[in-house]
Structure 1
Amino acid sequence: MFIVPHNRKIAVIGLGYVGLPVAVAFGRQAAIDGNQTIGFDINTKRIAELKTGQDHTGEVTAAELAETRIHYTNQIDELKKADFFIVAVPTPVDDANIPDLTPMLKASVSVGKALKKGDIVVYESTVYPGATEEDCVPVLERESGLKCGVDFTVGYSPERINPGDKEHTFTKIKKVVSGQDAKTLDIVADVYSSVVTAGVYRAASIKVAEAAKVIENTQRDLNIALMNELSLIFHRMGIDTVDVLQAAGTKWNFLPFRPGLVGGHCIGVDPFYLTHKAQKLGYHPQVILAGRQVNDDMGRFVAQEAIKEMLKAGRPLHGARVAVLGLTFKEDCPDLRNSKVIHIINELRSYGIEPLVHDAIADKDEAKHEYGVDLVDLNQLNNLDHIIIAVAHKQYKALSAEQLKAMLAPGARISDVKCALDREAMGKVGVALWRL
């Protein structure tokens, strides 16, 4: 017999950019109800950090953490106190862009060891349709010795966290929910409804919910790919892409997408989950993969155009001092996962240029570990032969035209990937600006 929804003891597995906001939402409600939410992560450093009331990702403030009742742990035995498990771990791709379900399957092992009769497991991690029931359920059954659909059930509720976005937060985004049967769906919907003020949408099935998530980001990926391809064409025509998009944007139904680097843990990854599953079923998706190829090539294009700008300005390539501003995958967010700025850096290195990389908010140790990049301080950026503003952090947008010019050697230029700078202001101080 399933426990009624309002008595459910919640455990969130994975306390990263996705899992922590989920745990905080339930932990805040737990504090009100006199209960406690369990926050589980295998990273002992992360657990220790959260116990001090700090979140290095910046997704949750110290004040927000203080409002919660969350028991942080890395001990599987502690999970046995829960009966509603939310799995929110990363689902990356490997170097060959093949989906890597390892974190999700390992999380399933941990949950399986804690499962009891009547428990419910809900996955939030982005996957291809079928992964919950075909890949994760067998692990849960093996580890627990229980039968899915008889002793416990599963559901899927795709995460919609947008790292760095303080407006569209977990409780303010409509939550898609699903369950393997009607009773489970009712409970899953009620549990999430208790904290998500935007409400829930009941998907027809777990596979439908999985598919809905993966196409959300695939659609965005393809729209950006179109803008990037237009940018490649317009550069050959000598036309400024942003000028074109602003003119086209005067039509009421023109979609306001912009060209740029497409990285991160969602848009640059999720389409590969869908194409992988399609290929296993004997269909080769052409449009999706073509869009991925266009987007993945943009870093190299930016670097090559920067080299051309240096040559036009008469700047030497040998021993050139080129600054790359920004390494995270998006502006005003410290997340370094799957950042495509590294493609710019690697292309510059292929020309014998070791760029000076600065990021206003990224962790230096993480940058070194993930990409082998030693971040430099801003005061080291002087007498530069070129500047590439790769990520539009607010700290870079706050730099005046005079400050940027002072960082450059005479006649040197700037590549503005995200159109963060005022073109007119830069022109007034005599600095030529290249824009994607």
Structure 2
Amino acid sequence: MKSEGLKILLVEDDEDDAFFIKDLIAERDLNPRPVIKHALNPQSALDFLEKITFDICLFDFRLGEIDGIDLLRMVRQRDISTPIIFLTGQGDQEIAVEAMKSGATDYRTKGSLTSESLFQSIRFAIQLRKEEERRQQAEDQLKKNNEELTQANNDLQVSMKKLQTAQDQILRSEKLASIGRLAAGVCHELLNPLNIISGHVQALMLERQKDESLNEDLESIMEEIGRIEKIVGGLLKFSRKEDMELTYSNINEELESVLSIMEKDMQIDNVQVVRNFATDLPKIKIDANRMRQVFMNLTNNARHAMEGGGTLTVTTKLHVRDLKQNRRKTDIKTHPDEIPIIQRNFIRIQFADTGTGIKEEDMIKLFDPFFTTKPEDKGTGLGLSVCYTIIEKHAGSIEVESKYGEGATFQIDLPCISLQENDQKTTKNIPQHSPK
């Protein structure tokens, strides 16, 4: 029993029966004394229940136009879960069953009711209510734990995906670096004999008038020498380790300079260029020449992917990414859940074409050196590798999304300068253009 006294709501329209039940409660001589509120009708009972939290309710079954079971249903509809014991003048098995089905805790007949049997029912009802509350609390805690576990699992999946992406990028970087070192050595070894062969062939071509049968063979040799020179030149460009010339640049302006040069060729191929440039991007530090090389390569690839015509949409926007701040190993071991998350601004550039798309089995090899889906005479397979290397040197990332037959989107993220510098360097870029 509670120290402040048991709170009982008695709903009884017969004054004599109400006096009888109050007398049974008084017989227990409880200390502190129970607090009894007497309601003569259902509406008065509902008013009491809306204002006071009772420990137990004692309902008479016969309450005029509304019986006790109707009142019980009205109470439960109001989400009031106080335990309720039914008291009736005569025993009726059907009434007892219906009362229990409707949510009553117990059922007693007034004729056989004693102080002991009444308090036995009250103790049982209160204990049952406490057990129900504990069960509900356990269910709520279990539900909360399950939700937290589900969220933790989802977070783990995201982290695993990010880790796999980071590992793939590291492996790709190491692979590209190894190939670059190899390519540099091979190129230098090839250039000397290639120059000698080219010189001799050019000398023979000057003498070809004396032997017309040599013309076709010599032209074929020069064509192949030109192809080798193109490959070697691409390898040298790929393996070059020159310092970047970083300057604050306007990405929209760099894109526009490339698109304006290539747009005539795009129009000839029936490719429409749509510019979707954000108007208030900050200037960022880039090697403008190398970045234009990336933009030209991606634009050219999109053009070749839309041989029958199509649309290339070039988009720029400011993008915020959550990054985990670097911490000392000791801090991470001591407080693994307290690694701070910092937000960093990136400029996101997207090249979305409506071309043939990329096959799923080709996606993983797309940035590998010498991998190409073009005919042999159309490319060396070094363009995207060079793009990847350039973006990586800018501490950025380049990704591709594509479904074969539905076009492709190449996405570049370049880190912005600090927010303080952004406020000083922000300039209004080229306004959004309509398709030309």
Specify which structure has the higher proportion of helix: 2
Specify which structure has the higher proportion of strand: 2
Tell me, yes or no, whether TM beats 0.5. no
TM-score bracket, normalised by the shorter chain, equals under 0.3
